[in-house]
Amino acid sequence: MQQLKKEHFITHFSAENKPAYKVRLNETFAVETFDCYGGKITSETQLRTEVDIPFINPATGPIEIEGVKKGDILCINIQNIELDEAGVMVLYPGMGVLGEDVKETDTRIIRVKDGHIQFNSQLQFPAAPMIGVIGVAPEKGAVLCETPGDHGGNMDTRWITTGSKLYFPVFHDGALLALGDLHAAMGDGELDGSGVEIGGKVTLQCTKLAGAPAIGMPVVETDRAWFLISSAETVEAAAKKGMRAAANRFRAAFGLGFNDAYRLLSATCSLEISQIVNPLVTVRIAVPKAVLPDLFAPGPLL
């Protein structure tokens, strides 16, 4: 199995970046990743405000996916996420939603052992590994790895995890996939501004959907639902964008007018928050598979 080393990474997603690696469709490969601080914070004496971190979220890649063309939908099977032994959670005044309540700057190194997070000597809870940053080259320009968008990037969506499938619109031949910023655990919202930030290794396999309808944004598939991942300036704007995409799928799949598609959306789908702390916020519209078995069905289902 190809092991793609973390030493080749990007700081922004862009079609201008030359591929560092090449994989084939259906090939299973492993990708090593740094934590969001590039592995520079390893002790509690290192404060985020004092360590020089020129860019956040280095993402291993770009990885050219052979045979994937502009206009395809790239499907990524997330087979495994292996975490390093310790993660980190920094804080400083102003960080996260309750930033004004943080009076001192400090750093916690948090060990992960046997699938559990050792929060302190008394408190532990199960790890829930996830990928914070994963994406393809955007249609235009360069997007910092800190920012989410229709190309993916810093989506901080906790269903991007082992056993899920992730779908991206492909804007450039080869897709130029990159990923990093693993979390050993993170709740919806990423409320203090970080997860348990950690390095590790992700095992993946890529396939492509040909002739599937364009959704225009990343989608995560789990056993129970499709999640349309929408990023924008505000939660409301992100919700509108994701809802329009879901309503359009209902119209096409079931031959509904807008009002009935909107009603079906309201009756069955949920607005969920991925993160509200990045330069753009990210929400997801959860579409139950019990309602729409195949989001990417090329023709009408009814």
**Minimum CB distance to Zn ion, residue 181 (Å):** 4
Give the span between the Cα atoms of 40 and 60, in whole angstroms: 16
Among 72, 84, 150, 156, indicate the residue that binds Ca ion (CB under 5 A).
156
CA 166 to chain centre: 9
Q: Is 154 in the site for Ca ion (CB under 5 A)?
A: yes
Our finding on whether 174 is near Zn ion (CB under 5 A) is no
Q: Check binding of 132 to Ca ion (CB under 5 A).
A: yes
Q: Determine contact, residues 276/189, Cβ cutoff 8 Å.
A: yes
Question: Measured at CB, which residue is nearest to Ca ion?
Answer: 132
Q: Choose from Ca ion, Zn ion, none: what does 192 bind? Cβ within 5-8 Å by kind.
A: none
| 132 lies in the binding site for Zn ion (CB under 5 A) | yes
**Residues 205-264 interacting with Zn ion (rule: CB under 5 A):** none
In the window 169-188, what residues touch Ca ion (CB under 5 A)?
Answer: 181
154 binds, among Ca ion, Zn ion, none (CB under 5 to 8 A by kind): Ca ion
Nearest of 155, 109, 164, 103 to residue 134 by alpha carbon: 155
Between CA 127 and CA 90 the distance in angstroms is 18
36 is a site residue for Zn ion (CB under 5 A): yes
* Per-residue H/E/C for 161-192: CCCCEEEEECCCCCCCEEEEEEECCCCCECCC
Record the tokens describing residue 84, joined without a space.
């390093």
Q: Where are the alpha helices (DSSP H) in 204-296?
A: 235-254, 258-268
| Site for Ca ion contains 146 (CB under 5 A) | no
Contact 187, 128 (CB under 8 A): no
Task: State yes or no: residue 200 binds Ca ion (CB under 5 A).
Answer: no
Residue 181 interacts with Zn ion (CB under 5 A): yes or no: yes
Residues that bind Zn ion (CB under 5 A): 36, 132, 181, 197
User: Under the rule (CB under 5 A), what is the footprint of Ca ion?
Assistant: 132, 154, 156, 181
